């Protein structure tokens, strides 16, 4: 949604707080013409599990100008490391255009190196060698049928 045609890698930390599951999602976007400088975005939200789907609703906490919803769809395989889904929201740009994009969430484990994980948080081109074929294929499984965004 940020830059059509690119792949945005975010870092999400989900945890239980009281009786709810909450999360923090971090994004970084390279600033054009500023080598090595990034704009940083931090989203906070709550997760719901309903009818075999995960619904995640968050807002951008630094500027409070954006809200989004992500729906993740489990595959029911015995060993799941990636979940496919859709993210819907409104652009933070001046024109406030609604958008929907394909997402893939990858489970990194309970113990991760946060510095190494955060280094991966950025925009990638579709042909970047850091993007594996499985991920590229999952992101490509979308089409519009009769005006509806469909996961193939």
3-state secondary structure of 126: coil
Looking at the structure of the chain, the number of domains it has is 1
- In this structure, is residue 33 part of a structural domain? yes
| Residue-range definition of the domain harbouring residue 20 | 6-151
Rounded CA-CA distance 99/83 in Å is: 20
For residue 85, how many other CB atoms are within 10 A of its CB? Answer: 20
Rounded CA-CA distance 30/19 in Å is: 37
- In this structure, is residue 1 part of a structural domain? no
Over the stretch 4-18, which tens digit does the pLDDT of each residue have? 788 999 999 999 999
Rounded CA-CA distance 35/92 in Å is: 23
Over the stretch 70-127, which tens digit does the pLDDT of each residue have? 999 887 776 788 999 999 988 666 677 788 889 999 999 999 999 999 999 999 998 9
For residue 11, the model assigns a pLDDT of 97
């Amino acid at each position: 949604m940020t830059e059509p045609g690119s792949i945005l890698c975010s870092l999400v930390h989900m945890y239980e707080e009281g009786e709810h599951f909450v999360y923090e999602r971090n994004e970084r976007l390279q600033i054009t013409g500023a080598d090595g400088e990034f704009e940083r975005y931090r989203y906070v939200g709550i997760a719901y599990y309903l009818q075999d789907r995960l619904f995640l609703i968050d807002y951008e906490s630094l500027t409070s100008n954006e809200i989004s919803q992500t729906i993740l769809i489990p595959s029911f395989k015995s060993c799941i490391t990636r979940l496919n889904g859709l993210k819907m929201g409104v652009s933070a740009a001046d024109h406030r255009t609604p958008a929907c994009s394909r997402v893939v969430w990858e489970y990194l484990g309970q113990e991760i190196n946060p510095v190494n994980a955060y280094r991966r948080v950025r925009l990638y081109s579709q042909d970047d060698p850091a993007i594996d074929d499985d991920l590229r294929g999952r992101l490509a499984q979308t089409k519009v049928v009769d005006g509806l965004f469909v996961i193939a």
